[in-house]
Structure 1
Amino acid sequence: MEELAMNDKRIKDALTIWQELSQSPEEYYAYESRLKYILDEEAKLEDAKYFAEKEGVAKGIEQGEKKKQQEIALKMLQKNMDLESIAEFTELTFDEINKLKEQLDE
């Protein structure tokens, strides 16, 4: 009979609930506290995953934009455009543009 009960999910759930309710108030409180702690920790992990993923996506977009700015600056340098115009259109600093210019000269 017990084997049959363990194979039926509804009966198994009912037995679990009955066992929980059969505990002393102190045991039940300890059980509920532990369950709350576990759920809180799982929620913290999910939050951390969400924010890490969100930050990773933002960082990837930022890196992609920077790379595109550098590619545009390189094309402008190849066309011998002045540094002020390159800085204005790409929003790169003069130092960044000069480093790219050095790469072209190599």
Structure 2
Amino acid sequence: PMAAPAPMAAAAAPVAAAAAPAPEAPAKGDLVKSPMVGTVYLAPQPGADVFVKPGDRVKAGQTLLIVEAMKTMNPIPSPRDGVVLEVLVGDAQPVEYGEPLVVIE
């Protein structure tokens, strides 16, 4: 008589292990995320002062940085009044849609 086939070993890894680990979220503050894929610029032009740096107080609507997409410069505004805790990207760094750019407290 033929032997029954052995049960297949579970090949699927747990879903949690398959996902890339998320970067640690800051303990406090709001993340300002990129609304598009593009290149970040921290200053209005090369050699100019950066728009914001950690410790700066910002107003709602104030430009935090620029994301260039398809040769268009898109200012990224602060969503609210607050203080810049951290700038998470470097100048001329490519960014993805939804990537955290700045932390505001």
Q: TM-score, normalised to structure 1's length?
A: 0.27
Q: Higher strand fraction: Structure 1 or Structure 2?
A: 2
Radius of gyration: which is bigger? Answer: 1
Q: Higher helix fraction: Structure 1 or Structure 2?
A: 1
